[in-house]
């Protein structure tokens, strides 16, 4: 497999871009080797600048639920672009996308469109603080809510992959109002709120964490979050940047029957373009300017090309599509799990609806600590073996497997066969 063009580009990139990448996990630091520079994608596959083709299980880290360059999404974006790339003014497309989100997501009566998940999470927390008149935010160890200062404490995949504690440049004051609790530990949650409940503006969580590999909530834990938030007068924020429109049309909150006060959305909702949103009740969202006194703004918010792509993608997501995507994810996860088990390699392949994760450990993880204690070196070797066999996984053991509607049964067999061959190498080595 050729990599010389990617190697040359990476050398050039490191001269002009910090670390050679514009988002840290792309650098392959955790898995070794040279990051592949991708040139194009089609359906379930991507092609790099060296002419190699890979079956893609990253999907731009989740947005491409319909695969690369889906004709409907491309056509919608092209049509919007031909009419103008940006106006800095209201468009019909913003209204149509907001209506689609409100129709689908149980917690949302109104939404505000923004450009990134970080921006959406940061804004939702600001709104919660204003609505409650409180300062503290309770978050869970390993959950990632973007790189806003207050939420970077004990953040997930990117920070964990690099092995850095939060980030230099984040002051003690910025995180002084952030309360950390272990995921899936209801007693720790109650204890923290017993101390800080009167000062807590919000409990923020990924309802199905996918930034510390895949660690689904234990039975009843999301209901406990809802009950405890209500009991202490805090708002419950679900960060559904990954799970929204992926686990179901209404996200994890619909799948689990637990409705938060505010929801953060991104990735799938933008159809592969920079687009995110946050939403909640009309009463809470009414605090936002210009209707209310909480300021939030963005020149490119509701970009017409991005909202057109997002609308086109959401139109594709029927109940039948989710059923098929769930079945494909199950076959893939079961096949990879069997391949690793047959080779005698200790590993857990977790699955939750249309998400999957691979952890090299004896037991399925229930917290960030479990994932951190897993064999990351073995994941790196598995990643390299799969890449050599034409399967592109996330270059970090703290990330998940993203399937798409473009995957066929034959594609799943390609993944399973590659896993079997790679597992045999791991067992022998």
**Whether 149 contacts 175, CB under 8 Å:** yes
Query: DSSP assignment, residue 148?
Result: -
Whole-angstrom distance, CA of residue 95 vs CA of residue 72: 20
Whether 354 and 251 have beta carbons less than 8 Å apart is answered as no
Catalytic-role residue among 144, 322, 368, 392: 144
pLDDT digits (tens, 9 = 90+) for 266-277: 999 999 999 999
290 cis-preceded (ω within 30 degrees of 0): yes
Residue in 48, 239, 370, 411 annotated catalytic: 239
Name the average pLDDT for the chain.
95
Average confidence (pLDDT) over 346-368: 97
- Give the model confidence (pLDDT) of 62-72 as tens digits: 999 999 999 99
Structure tokens at 285: 């969202």
For position 162, what pLDDT does the model report?
38
Q: Which residues contact 327 (CB under 8 A, 6 or more apart)?
A: none
- Mapping DSSP to helix (H, G, I), strand (E, B) and coil, where does residue 277 land? strand
Q: How far apart are CA 322 and CA 325, in angstroms?
A: 5
Angle ∠(220,224,228) on CA atoms, nearest 5: 175
State which H helix or E strand residue 401 sits in.
strand 401-402
Q: What is the DSSP letter of 19?
A: G
State pLDDT tens for residues 295-334.
999 999 999 999 999 999 999 999 999 999 999 999 999 9
429: pLDDT confidence band, cut at 50, 70 and 90? confident
Question: Domain residues of the chain, as ranges?
Answer: 4-65+318-428, 71-316
Taking each helix axis as running N to C, give the angle between helix 409-428 and helix 376-388, from 0 to 180 degrees, rounded to the nearest 10.
Answer: 130
261: annotated active-site residue? no
**How large is the average pLDDT for residues 352-370?**
97
Q: Is the pLDDT of residue 175 over 90?
A: no
Residue 23: strand, helix, or coil: coil
- 268-289 burial, b at 16+ Cβ within 10 Å, e below that, comes to bbbbbbbbbbbbbeeebbebbe
Contact status, residue 304 vs residue 86, Cβ threshold 8 Å? yes
Q: If you ran DSSP here, which 8-state letter would residue 216 be given?
A: P
Check whether 158 has a pLDDT greater than 50.
Answer: no
Parallel, antiparallel, or unpaired for β 136-140 and 38-42? unpaired
Whether residue 163 has pLDDT greater than 90: no
For the domain made up of 71-316, give the CATH fold: 3.40.640
Q: What is the distance of C-alpha 410 from the center of its chain?
A: 26
Give CATH for domain 4-65+318-428.
Answer: 3.90.1150.10
Contact criterion met (CB below 8 Å) for 402 and 245: no
Global confidence as pTM: 0.95
Could you say which of 177, 267, 322, 368 is catalytic? 267
Cα–Cα nearest to 128, from 178, 201, 197: 201
Give the whole-number percent of the chain exceeding pLDDT 90.
92
Q: Which residue has the tokens 């800095």?
A: 88
Catalytic-residue membership of 239 = yes
Contacts of 227 (CB under 8 A, 6+ apart): none
Active site residue 144: yes
With a cut of 70, say whether residue 160 has pLDDT above it.
no
What's the rounded Cα separation, in Å, for the pair 279 and 334? 36
DSSP codes of every residue in 233-255: TPEEEEEETTTBTTTBTTHHHHH
């Amino acid at each position: 497999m050729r990599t010389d063009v990617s190697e040359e580009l990476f050398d050039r990139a490191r001269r002009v871009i910090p670390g050679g990448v514009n988002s840290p996990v792309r650098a392959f630091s955790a898995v070794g080797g040279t990051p592949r520079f991708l040139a194009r994608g089609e359906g379930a596959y991507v092609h790099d600048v060296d002419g190699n083709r890979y079956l893609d299980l990253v999907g731009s880290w989740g947005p491409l639920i319909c695969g690369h360059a889906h004709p409907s999404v491309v056509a919608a974006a092209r049509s919007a672009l031909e009419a103008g790339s940006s106006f800095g003014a209201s468009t019909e497309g913003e209204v149509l996308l907001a209506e689609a989100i409100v129709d689908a997501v149980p917690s949302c009566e109104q939404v505000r469109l923004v450009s990134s998940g970080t921006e959406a999470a940061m804004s939702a927390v600001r709104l919660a603080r204003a609505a409650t008149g409180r300062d503290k935010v309770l978050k869970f160890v390993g959950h990632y809510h973007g790189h806003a200062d207050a939420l970077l404490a004990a953040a997930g995949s990117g920070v964990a992959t690099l092995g850095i504690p939060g980030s230099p440049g984040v002051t003690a004051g910025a995180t002084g109002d952030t309360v950390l609790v272990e995921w899936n530990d209801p007693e720790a949650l109650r204890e923290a709120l017993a101390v800080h409940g009167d000062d807590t503006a919000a409990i923020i969580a990924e309802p199905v964490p996918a930034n510390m590999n895949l660690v689904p909530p234990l039975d009843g834990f999301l209901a406990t979050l809802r009950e405890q938030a209500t009991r202490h007068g805090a708002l419950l924020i679900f960060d559904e940047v990954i799970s929204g429109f992926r686990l179901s049309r209404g996200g994890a909150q619909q799948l689990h029957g637990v409705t938060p006060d505010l929801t953060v959305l991104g990735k799938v909702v933008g159809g592969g373009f920079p687009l995110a949103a946050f939403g909640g009740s009309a009463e809470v969202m009414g605090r936002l300017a210009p209707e209310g006194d909480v300021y939030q703004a963005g020149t490119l918010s509701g970009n017409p090309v991005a909202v057109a792509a997002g609308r086109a993608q959401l139109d594709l997501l029927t109940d039948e599509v989710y059923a098929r995507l769930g079945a494909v994810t199950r076959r893939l996860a079961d096949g990879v799990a069997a391949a690793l088990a047959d080779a005698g390699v200790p590993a857990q392949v977790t699955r939750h609806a249309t998400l999957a994760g691979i952890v090299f450990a004896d037991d399925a993880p229930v917290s960030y600590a479990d994932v951190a204690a897993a064999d990351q070196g073995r994941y790196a070797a598995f990643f390299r073996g799969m890449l050599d066999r034409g399967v592109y996984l996330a270059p970090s053991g703290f990330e998940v497997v993203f399937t798409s509607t473009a995957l066929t049964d034959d594609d799943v067999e390609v993944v399973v066969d590659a896993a079997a061959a790679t597992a045999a190498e791991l067992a022998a080595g």
